[in-house]
A and B are shown apart, each in its own frame.
Chain A
Amino acid sequence: MKLFQKTASAILVSSLIAGAAQAQVSDDEIRIGYLADMSGTYRDLAGPGGLEALKMAVEDFGGSVDGKKIVLFNADDLNKPDVGANTVRQWVDEKNVDMVTGLVASSVVLAAVKVVEQADKLALISGAASSGITNEYCSPNHIHWTYDTYALANGTAKAVLAGGGKSWYLLTADYAFGHAMEADISKVVKEGGGEVLGSVRHPFPSTDFSSYVLQAQGSGAQVVALANAGADTVNALKTASQFGVTQSGQQLAGMVVFLNDIHAMGLEVTQGLKLTTGWYWDMNDETRAWAKRYHARFGSMPTMAQAGVYSATMHYLNAVKATGSDDTKTVRAKMAETPINDMFAKGGKIREDGRMVHDMYLVQVKTPAESKGEWDLYKVLSTIPGDQAYRPLADSQCKLVNKVAKN
């Protein structure tokens, strides 16, 4: 028995030594790049706030991992894929950056992750919406952290359906993104026993939504779903408010809506809107404590994308610490085998397609009477378990998903 123990510990020790010998940090520094829209449409979603969240993560780690300094780079992608790709290329070529995070506009992200994949570095995407990032565009070098369109559309549609909204009318942005979302929503509605009474497609981008909103009102549907994003959603919501859509008994369901949109539009306009979010600051003591620290530094409450940057970076740094290496494959493997338990997610896990699966939340925007403060905007209606929220691997087109497991 003693001999067995001795052998076992000898094996253990030798494997540890071997591990330590392999482990190393390139340039003796952990270099992180933060790429986001700092000056355009998506500024408030991630932007400078996300950079602040990243800095918080680095500071919470003490600025270094086992004596290896953490160095940050940041850049504005101006929402231009060529600027984003060029920046990331320069980072990996000249600065030897190990990990890139932030990453907001889908077109920029898809361009950036190609560069990251070629250079065999790691990208942790927190801001982008497109579910294609971990579907047809998946790679072993990026992880999609916070949310995606599939989870948002599915979550909201299922929950509204369960709440009794059986007849639907869709307001769709007329391009690939809107079409995909329209198809997703229609599928969920039909499977759930509801019906889609009609839909109208508006050009992307649009400013005048009055004719579309009038059609939606005239349809007599119980639910008006907004299969669009960004400024289009904001404009549609404003018009819907002016035309009294909710007051006349119809429900509004937003598919891609963020805390900063609601804050900017105000509760008067958005009250009653149901939407899905990956995270909300006012959920429990842990989220409130973190959000309070963030608010003290930055002056606004964090969006889910900003919280996602913090969570993703912490998880990455923990993996670097655990493996003693910043080698992409080593760290990626460690990140996948460690569940994510922090203020952002409980029991979150990273799938082979790069999707970080965690619980999503169905929320409703409060009325001005219910709200107790500037940032008291949502009430959480229900939790959507992660494995129901995200696209099941069985439906995945990702090349990394094991075909046997799919069947």
Chain B
Amino acid sequence: MSSVENLPLAALQPSVEQERMRAARRRRVGFCLALLGVALVAPLAIYPVFLMKLLCFALFACAFNLLLGYAGLLSFGHAAFLATGGYVTGYLLSQYSGLSTELGILAGTVASGVLGLGFGLLAIRRQGIYFAMITLALAQLVFFVYVQAPFTGGENGLQGVPRGHLFGLIDLSSNLAMYYFVLAVFVFGFAVIQRTIHSPYGQVLKAIRDNEPRAISLGYNVAAHKLLAFVISATLTGLAGATKTVVFQLASLTDAHWHMSGEVILMTLLGGVGTVLGPLVGAGVVVTLQSYLSNGPLGDWVHVILGVIFVLCVLLFRAGIVGWLRKLVRRNFK
């Protein structure tokens, strides 16, 4: 009898919960659409190549955030995926002139995904600092392969990669056409990440992040979930690297260096780890600072200023810029 009495209440509760989630999703979608609107008109005001760079790094940081923010895995080897995407795409596009741009990018992305699978299979067996160290070691291995391999051009890098034609039709040598293509790539990557985070799979990932033993005891195959997250992250990082190579028409060792792995951690933490927009904001801040400081009279101080900002961020708002803003909004407007 008691179960019958409780029924209406039980049926009511999820609908309240659902309503709340729906509202949250509406807000999120609305916000993303507004951002997209800004992105569509942005090249009219800001130099498109700079915007493209920003988008590539934002995608890179978002992919990294999927791993760190939602699976709780700190990878210190993401530069390897960025570089692999870049080199494979760059090499294919410059060797086979008939290849259309999107196929080149696809090849680079897949190559990164495969490399991510290899890395993941080895690295997810360990946790915490050991996981980070294994990814770093593997990435260094990849770095030295790229230093030596003849197709990367070693220190000189891969130069003069043609931007080519999208679908064999649209000429990407114009910055504006290129920009909208990069924007489309970014939106695709971002959507994949959003879908992953908000799917049941994403919920399991969060559960693993928060309490791994409990997730195991609930019967989830934790290793497989982590591996999948790692591969998705590596693949999207490869997509960012491949796109970046096409934008700048070059691939270089800078992308493979462990500094790059560090930079993406900086971007993610600065913006707010585990937030949807955090990596975007973080990438924006870091790339903009690098770009504008290097052109200004404070050029010599780029690294110092970034370092100070990072220290302040860790000391004052540990949730990152977006995390901090979110807290501020919650406290004052609800």
Interface set of A (CB-CB < 8 Å, partner B): 38-39, 43, 48, 73-83, 85-87, 89-90, 93-94, 106-107, 110-111, 114, 130, 132, 137, 174-177, 203-204
Contact = CB atoms under 8 A, between A and B. Distances in A.
B153 A176 contact: yes
B159 A110 contact: yes
Contact of B299 (A74, A89, A93): A74
B252 A111 contact: yes
Q: Which 6 A-B residue pairings sit nearest by Cβ, starting from the closest?
A: A176-B154, A76-B294, A76-B299, A81-B252, A38-B299, A107-B157
Given A76-B294, A93-B47, A111-B157, A175 B300 contact: no
Interface stretch (B34-42, B242-250, B273-281, B314-322): B242-250
Interface in B32-61: 47, 49-50, 53
Interface of B: 47, 49-50, 53, 144, 147-148, 150, 153-157, 159-160, 175, 244, 248-250, 252-254, 290-291, 293-295, 299-303
A89 B156 CA distance: 19
A75 B295 contact: yes
Contacts of B291: 83, 86
A39 B155 contact: no
Given A107-B157, A137-B159, A82 B294 contact: no
A272 B147 CA distance: 32
A81 B155 contact: no
B303 A39 contact: yes
Contacts of B293: 76
Interface of B is mostly: helix
B271 to A, nearest CB: 20
B238 to A, nearest CB: 16
Given A39-B300, A107-B253, A114-B160, A83 B154 contact: no
Nearest to A51: B299
A354 to B, nearest CB: 16
Contacts of B154: 175-177
A81 B144 contact: no
Given A75-B299, A132-B156, A175-B154, A86 B248 contact: yes
A1 to B, nearest CB: 58
Residue with the highest number of chain A CB atoms closer than 10 Å, among B156, B253, B293: B156
B158 to A, nearest CB: 10
B53 A86 contact: yes
A38 B252 contact: no
A111 B251 CA distance: 9
B270 to A, nearest CB: 18
B294 A90 contact: no
Contact of B147 (A77, A90, A94, A204): A204
Nearest to A111: B250
Contacts of A85: 248-250
A94 B299 CA distance: 20
A75 B159 CA distance: 21
29 contacts: A38-B294, A38-B300, A39-B299, A39-B300, A39-B302, A39-B303, A74-B299, A78-B294, A78-B302, A80-B252, A81-B157, A81-B250, A81-B252, A82-B244, A82-B248, A86-B50, A89-B49, A93-B49, A94-B47, A110-B159, A110-B250, A114-B160, A130-B156, A174-B147, A174-B148, A175-B148, A175-B155, A176-B153, A204-B155
Given A78-B290, A78-B302, A177 B155 contact: yes
B49 A176 contact: no
B218 to A, nearest CB: 45
A75 B160 CA distance: 22
Given A76-B294, A85-B249, A86-B291, 10 more contacts: A76-B299, A81-B248, A81-B250, A82-B244, A82-B250, A83-B291, A93-B47, A93-B175, A114-B249, A130-B156
Contacts of B290: 78, 83
A82 B159 contact: no
B250 A83 contact: no
Contacts of A114: 159-160, 249-250
Contacts of A89: 49
A396 B196 CA distance: 54
B300 A81 contact: no
Residue with the highest number of chain A CB atoms closer than 10 Å, among B147, B252, B253: B252
B47 A90 contact: yes
Contacts of B244: 82
A108 to B, nearest CB: 9
A48 B294 CA distance: 12
Contacts of B148: 174-175
B49 A111 contact: no
B304 to A, nearest CB: 9
A75 B250 CA distance: 20
Given A82-B248, A82-B250, A90-B49, A107 B300 contact: no
Nearest to A133: B156
Given A81-B157, A175-B154, A87 B294 contact: yes
Contacts of A79: 254
Nearest to A107: B157
A76 B159 contact: no
Nearest to A75: B295
Contact of A82 (B53, B156, B300): B53
B252 A48 contact: no
A76 B300 CA distance: 8
B157 A86 contact: no
Contact of A111 (B155, B159, B299, B301): B159
A272 B47 CA distance: 52
B248 A48 contact: no
Nearest to B154: A176
A155 B304 CA distance: 40
A83 B294 contact: yes
Contacts of A74: 295, 299
A100 to B, nearest CB: 14
Nearest to B245: A82
